Amino acid sequence: MSRSILIIGGGIGGLCAAIALGRVGHRVVVIERDPEWSVYGVGIIQQANVVRAMEQLGMLDTFLAAASGFDAVEIFVPDGTCVARVPSPRLVEGRPANVGIGRKALQRVLAQGARDAGAEIRLGVTVSSFEEGADALHVTFSDGTADDFSFAVGADGVYSQTRAMILPKAGVPEFTGQAVWRYNFARPEGLDALQVYNGPMGVGLVPMDADTMYLFATTPEPDNPRYPVHGIAAAMRAKLAQCAPQIRALVEQITDDEGVVYRPLEGLLVSGPWHKGRIVLLGDAVHAATPHLGQGAGMAIEDAIVLAEEVGRHDDLDAAFTAYRDRRFERCRYIVEHSLAICHGQLGKGPPIDNHQATAQMFALVSQPI
């Protein structure tokens, strides 16, 4: 059965939903509130389950062409000693287990994939109202236009307006007391793994393409400050001044205020239904994880695939959306809760978590079929 589907949000989850739904013949319209469709210019880790998901979406070759593959995670203690190299399972034969990829490059790949699947993408547009009828969802947009759809997908992030409209009691994101800093560097020769540095401040180095890597660092920020752009590079240098020698060697290269990406870390898990009527949610709108396990985007991509599968299996939308949520909830709950446990351990709010063990357990989980 071919349906007309509105996807609210042009991020990773929304675009993957557009690909998954469009390539099986549904009419798809994606709206994105940002007229510039801007994406910050650092990278993102996409692990083995995402490589498998990209194959399922028919996107693997173009995805890998824009990325840098690696097959292991190296764990370092605070003095800079490497204590473990954890192999990552390959889930697609002959392809890398994990990749690092620039967020802008990933957006270009997914946007083209969505268009190739037939999606219409409209920028600078939001939903003004929904009106649910017996046979369709009538949607009025912020530009004054309106259209009818079989259903809508809210993929509009942790501060989802769609969630607020349909599930106002579902909760709001909670600040963890920690933030993440990111910055790009030239990739050194020999970096062939994700490098993770244990300690009160979590730090990692991620290969992003042949010439570039990015650094991420999680820091305690109990008062949830907002750093002005002017001077933020100096602030990041100061945060990293006591890290492992390998990290300190990079610090003086952090000079471009505009190149620093700073984000307070928030978490959310909607434990009840993920839909109401003809509107269903995915990704950070229902399960926003901190980045400690590198699986936030991966969970959204898997959501998109499972949602498309269940919509294809059920004529009844309520049954499809319920089956989708039932397949996804425990996996997403694990990622949200275990990512937060690492965060709390770094902050002294809980027991410290061994990154070696946590990484191995996470890989075992996400290697399972979705």
pLDDT digits (tens, 9 = 90+) for 324-345: 999 999 999 999 999 999 999 9
**Host H or E run for residue 319:** helix 317-347
Residue 237: what pLDDT? 97
Q: Which of 237, 260, 265, 239 is nearest to 179 (CA)?
A: 265
Contacts of 127 (CB under 8 A, 6+ apart): 8, 31, 139, 140, 141, 142, 152, 161, 162, 165
Q: What is the 3-state secondary structure (H, E, C) of 179-201?
A: EEEEEEEECCCCCCCEEEECCCC
pLDDT digits (tens, 9 = 90+) for 62-93: 999 999 999 998 999 999 999 989 888 899 99
Instruction: Report the SS3 class of residue 10.
Output: coil
pLDDT digits (tens, 9 = 90+) for 156-187: 999 999 999 999 999 899 999 999 999 999 99
Q: Are strands 127-132 and 202-207 parallel, antiparallel or unpaired?
A: unpaired
Instruction: Report the SS3 class of residue 288.
Output: strand
Residue 165: what pLDDT? 96
**Entry field: residues in the chain:** 370
pLDDT digits (tens, 9 = 90+) for 100-130: 999 999 999 999 999 999 999 999 999 999 9
Residue 249: what pLDDT? 93
Contacts of 263 (CB under 8 A, 6+ apart): 179, 180
Q: Is the pLDDT of residue 47 over 80?
A: yes
Residue 87: what pLDDT? 87
pLDDT digits (tens, 9 = 90+) for 195-238: 999 877 889 999 999 999 999 999 999 999 999 999 999 999 99
Residue 357: what pLDDT? 86
Residue 88: what pLDDT? 86
Q: Which residues pair with 138 in a beta bridge?
A: 131, 148
Report, in angstroms and rounded to the nearest whole number, the Rg of the chain calculated over CA atoms: 20
pLDDT digits (tens, 9 = 90+) for 25-39: 999 999 999 999 999
Integer Cα distance of 309 and 314 in angstroms: 9
**Who wins on pLDDT, 89 or 6?**
6
pTM over 0.85: yes
pLDDT digits (tens, 9 = 90+) for 267-323: 999 999 999 999 999 999 999 999 999 999 999 999 999 999 999 999 999 999 999
Residue 113: what pLDDT? 98
**Percent of the chain's residues with pLDDT above 90:** 90
Instruction: Report the SS3 class of residue 43.
Output: strand
Average pLDDT, integer, range 237-250: 94
The residue with tokens 């959204």 is: 300
All domains in the chain, ordered by first residue: 4-41+102-173+266-348 (3.50.50.60)
The residue with tokens 């929904």 is: 130
CA distances from 4 to 113, 114, 124, 132, 366 (A): 18, 15, 21, 14, 31
Integer Cα distance of 18 and 2 in angstroms: 14
Contacts of 308 (CB under 8 A, 6+ apart): 17, 20, 21, 24
Residue 355: what pLDDT? 75
